[in-house]
Chains A and B, each alone.
Chain A
């Protein structure tokens, strides 16, 4: 990365190196998965709960990264889709008595439609203008959720309390551990789909639209369709994450989904690394744990410490943690 604004492009490798690299990749993922499975047995229930949230955030960040990192559309309002997902799950469980595991695909589908519909007018807006439009969505969402006409569904300012799902009998898992594994399964599924989506034709089209929209169109990429579909899929990911997060927290209320959540998500994407799948995990760890660390360092001005952390991260790794690791690896190889 030398000059300009363009984020990292996907590295292309010669065919011979490809197989070895893929094997190493697979081994890495397997180690990560084993570690993720062992972890909840080593730490207390509260830490397991926090890790569950990290998993949920990582899905949301992957979704936002598709839109911002790969497709170049900046959204400052993804907290709204997180809220829609969370509320869909909560309302389905609370008002319709649906089991928790059934609500997640529905929350995703609702967000896919919402995102696609929002993406259509947003097609005309670029850069900062899109940022403002999405920002408006993020600001409006808590007010909409509080509105009287929706109160019988959303519970107004009070929100909705969700019953914590029981672990299936015979597994010997605590409720928190069960939720952790349930969320982990979704993470594996969503990352697998995301990985397949991004490395193939669709992913290349998304990157082409980001880097050279006119050239992409000339090559036969349907720019408008891809852009609004990316918006939809990105919202789907964020909605699934919102549903999983709300089940873990067992509570939804309008004030948990302020514009601050949207900004936190953007922070997570950039700190983790734009246009990188693994970046979603680093970013999720950052947004879950760094505020806690900052709070322990200074009770008086925790957010000042958080800001200093952010500054330090951006100075040391302007391309995010994933970009930093990539540079480090390239240097070690030489």
Chain B
């Protein structure tokens, strides 16, 4: 029983990371109906940037802030420069562009920073908080940061004019344009925000999985699964889906064994999707003939 509680709690911690990346995926999906396969590699690259800054002597939170801001700028630039020209191309062509971005960033990171595994510092104390034996303070801290990010996003989208404009641009681009919203820039902002969220997730997960160019591969997959499980058009659902996948993955890993962990987790998710094809909280689509 003790072990189960432990597994569930650390599952919630990794689930928080999945939830952040899932949220980043959903943000881009809502605006463009595409899943950004390069999301994980962007986060990985941003984490390397943070690592380089820390190596250069910048204090952790300073490096954190610089990384988040530059990830945001990077996301905006990528949308403006690379994604915009293929806006009207067939869906699969855009997917291939994402795959191209994925291999480019992965390869560049390996080239610049080498493929050797690097430790990444955690900003939280090493000993567990409040003397509990279930969950480390890094796990608690990263969970807290995830929740703060989610809360900030909720407030931004719900209560600010810019957030409203972004939601409008995602929901109905034509009408938004007619009322004077610059839809293209809203899209770029969405990319920037997604990249920034990804960067935070990357910096939170790096202390546990260690820093290397392929560190986000599995995480992206779980986040994708979480987003679909919750329903890819529902941000709240995606977050919950991310947490569910995190717990599921950890519990399966403990009781079935790590070699089949990924497979079992995915089969369970696909099983759920077969029963509920739009995810747990997604809108059911009605097709018009």
A and B held together in a complex = yes
Listed in ascending order, the chain A residues whose CB lies under 8 Å from chain B are 1-3, 5-7, 68, 74, 121, 124-126, 128-129, 131-133, 135-136, 139-140, 143-144, 146-147, 212-215, 218, 263, 266-267, 269-271, 274, 300-304, 306-308, 310-311, 313-315, 318-320
> Count of B residues near A, CB < 8 Å?
44
List 6 A-B pairs, Cβ < 8 Å: A3-B88, A136-B270, A274-B90, A303-B107, A307-B102, A314-B97
A242 to B169, CA, bound (A): 46
Pairwise interchain contact A136-B97, C-beta atoms closer than 8 A:
no
Partner-A contacts on B (CB < 8 A): 35, 82, 85-86, 88-97, 99-104, 106-108, 110-111, 221, 224-225, 228, 232, 259-260, 262-263, 266-267, 269-270, 273-274, 277, 279, 287, 289
Secondary structure dominating the interface of A: helix
Residues from chain A with a CB closer than 8 A to the CB of B224 are 132, 135
Contact B221 A303 (CB under 8 A): no
Interchain CB contact under 8 A, B274 and A132: no
Asked if A125 and B274 make an inter-chain contact with CB atoms under 8 angstroms apart, the answer reads: yes
Asked if A129 and B269 sit within 8 Å, CB to CB, the answer is no
A311 is contacted by which of B88, B97, B277 (Cβ under 8 Å)?
B97
> A139-B221, A147-B260 known; A129 and B277 CB under 8 Å?
yes
> Quick one: given A215-B289, A274-B92, A314-B86, are A146 and B267 in contact (CB under 8 Å)?
no
Of A129, A302, A315, which is within 8 A of B86 by CB?
A315
Known A-B contacts A124-B277, A126-B277, A301-B107; A270 and B263 likewise in contact (beta carbons under 8 Å)? no
Q: Given A133-B270, A140-B266, A306 and B89 touching (CB < 8 A)?
A: no
B221 contacts A310, C-beta separation under 8 Å: no
In the complex, the answer to whether B262 meets A140 with C-beta atoms within 8 Å is: yes
The answer to whether A270 and B93 touch (CB under 8 A), given A132-B228, A301-B107, A302-B107, is: yes
Given contacts A126-B277, A214-B287, contact A307 B35 (CB under 8 A): no
Q: Are B107 and A304 in contact (CB under 8 A)?
A: yes
For the complex formed, measure the closest distance between the CB of A304 and the CB atoms of chain B, giving whole angstroms. 4
Q: Is the CB of B106 within 8 A of A144?
A: no
Q: Which A residues touch B287, using CB under 8 A?
A: 213-214
Are A1 and B101 neighbours in the complex by a CB distance under 8 Å?
A: no
> Taking A133-B273, A143-B262, A301-B107 as contacts, is the C-beta distance between A270 and B225 under 8 angstroms?
no
Residues in A with CB closer than 8 Å to B99 are 263, 266-267, 307, 310
Chain A residues with Cβ under 8 A from B277's Cβ? 124-126, 129
- CB-nearest residue of chain A to B224: A132
B88 partner residues in chain A, CB cutoff 8 A: 2-3
Smallest CB gap from B218: residue in A: A139
| Interface pair B107/A132, CB less than 8 Å apart | no
The answer to whether A308 and B96 have CB atoms under 8 Å apart is no
Chain A residues contacting B263 (CB-CB under 8 Å) are 136, 139-140, 143-144
A269 to B89, CA, bound (A): 15
Minimal beta-carbon separation of B28 from chain A (angstroms): 12
Tell me the complex Cα distance, A128–B259, Å.
26
If A129-B273, A132-B273, A314-B86 touch, does A68 touch B260 (CB 8 Å cutoff)? no
B157 CB, min distance to chain A CBs, angstroms: 22
- Report the separation of the CA atoms of residues A125 and B86 in the bound assembly, to the nearest whole angstrom: 27
Pick from A74, A213, A214: contact of B92, CB below 8 A. Answer: A74
Contacts of B260 in A (CB 8 A): 143, 147
* Contact between chains at B289 and A314 (CB < 8 Å): no
How far, in whole Å, are A218 and B287 apart by their CA atoms in the complex?
Answer: 14
- Name the distance in Å between A303's Cβ and chain B's nearest Cβ: 4
Contacting pair A307 B103 (CB below 8 A): yes
Docked pose: A274 CA to B95 CA in angstroms: 13
CA distance A263 to B37 in the complex (A): 11
Smallest CB–CB gap between B82 and chain A, Å?
7
Task: Report the minimum CB–CB distance from A127 to chain B (whole Å).
Answer: 9
Is B90 in contact with A5, judged by CB distance below 8 angstroms? yes
Contact, CB under 8 Å: B93 / A132: no
User: Which chain B residues lie closer than 8 Å to A315 at the CB level?
Assistant: 85-86
Given contacts A124-B274, A315-B86, are A304 and B103 in contact (CB under 8 A)?
yes
Interface pair B232/A128, CB less than 8 Å apart? yes
Of all chain B residues, the one with the shortest Cβ separation from A133 is B270
Q: Are A303 and B106 in contact (CB under 8 A)?
A: yes
Contacts of B221 in A (CB 8 A): 135, 139
A110 to B249, CA, bound (A): 32
Q: Which residues of B contact A140 (CB under 8 A)?
A: 262-263, 266-267
Given A128-B35, A132-B225, A146-B259; A304-B232 close (CB under 8 Å): no
Q: How many angstroms between the C-alpha atoms of A133 and B86 in the bound complex?
A: 27
Q: Are A129 and B259 in contact (CB under 8 A)?
A: no
Per the bound structure, the CA–CA distance linking A68 and B89 in Å amounts to: 16
Determine which residue in B100, B101, B108, B232 has the highest number of CB atoms from chain A within 10 A of its CB, and name it. B100
The answer to whether A128 and B228 touch across the interface, beta carbons within 8 angstroms, is yes
Contacting residues, chain A, for B289 (C-beta < 8 A)? 212, 214-215, 218
Q: Determine how close the nearest CB of chain B comes to the CB of A122; give it in whole angstroms.
A: 9
**Chain A's nearest CB lies how many Å from the CB of B270?**
5
Report the nearest A residue to B91, measured CB to CB: A5
Name which residue of chain B comes closest to A126, CB basis: B277
Q: Which of A3, A147, A214, A303 has the most CB of B within 10 A?
A: A303
A144 to B101, CA, bound (A): 30
